[in-house]
Amino acid sequence: MLRFFALNMIYIEYNCLTLEEQKMEKLILSEDEIVRVCTRLAEEIDQKIAENDNGVPVMLGVMNGALPFLYELVKHLKQPVEIDTIKASSYNGTETTGDVVVSKEPDIDLQGRDVYIIEDIIDTGITMHYLKQFIKDHYKPKNLYVCVLVKRNNLNLKYSEIADFTGLTTDEQRYIVGFGFDYYGLWRNEPYVFVPSQKDIQEWNRILEEDAKIHSDLTKH
């Protein structure tokens, strides 16, 4: 409880700053833009569901980053859907390792179903390529689609055909945070997507160091 209170006070102190005071480098998607993107994507997915006529599909969110996107997206769907999650990542902190690990599998039986993988970002495409093959091999869905919020125009993109539904394609190559995107676990809860400034990152590192110190002090008692 003490650790939570201390960290929360640091968070409130920082989050009360205006966007200008936070020195945000660049806004990628505002709150309104996110709603518009999710509304458009929901219309496209609704149409595909109706065309396939294969019963109730499964919206499979990739934890943890895609959860805000998943829950905003399904609010705009007209067709009935089921929701489940899977956890897979090739990232360690802010860097990709190239090795994909699946640490949480779906609870719903996906065999013969239409499955829509809901992901926050496609960067190199390595994680999503592996995840698609993993789901096909282990769960045998009838149709498998990928819906992504942000897709980078990345020179290192290995699998360019991987997204069936794309919210935003961007040339921005810098690290982004907010609305599910994180910096070592922080700031997934921001309602917009942005490129942080160096001032942001320095402040976040201070918060992480303070949290680690609080945690260390508590474990000594």
Per-residue pLDDT of 12-40, as tens digits, reads: 444 554 554 455 799 999 999 999 999 99
pLDDT of residue 146: 97
pLDDT of residue 135: 96
Residues 6+ apart with CB under 8 A from 185: none
- Ranges of each domain in the chain: 1-23+197-221, 30-190
Q: How confident is the model at residue 124 (pLDDT cuts 50, 70, 90)?
A: confident
For range 29-53, the mean pLDDT: 98
Digit-coded pLDDT (tens) for 69-107: 999 999 999 999 999 999 987 655 445 555 778 889 999
Digit-coded pLDDT (tens) for 125-163: 888 999 999 999 999 999 999 999 999 987 667 776 689
Task: Flag the least confident range among 2-6, 53-57, 144-148, 152-156.
Answer: 2-6
Whether the full predicted model's pTM is greater than 0.95, yes or no, is no
pLDDT of residue 5: 46
Instruction: Kindly name the residue from 32, 46, 120, 123 that is annotated as catalytic.
Output: 123
The one-letter amino acid at 189:
N
pLDDT of residue 219: 58
Residues 6+ apart with CB under 8 A from 221: none
Based on the residue annotation, tell me whether 123 is a catalytic residue of this protein. yes
CA 204 to chain centre: 19
Own/partner long-range contacts of 163-171 (Cβ < 8 Å, ≥24 apart): 163/122, 163/128, 165/41, 165/44, 165/45, 165/116, 167/29, 167/37, 167/38, 167/40, 167/41, 167/69, 168/28, 168/29, 168/37, 170/28
Fold of 30-190: Rossmann fold (3.40.50)
State percent of the chain over pLDDT 70.
81
d(CA 99, CA 89): 8
Contact 196, 178 (CB under 8 A): no
43 against 24, higher pLDDT: 43
Digit-coded pLDDT (tens) for 203-221: 888 988 888 887 665 555 5
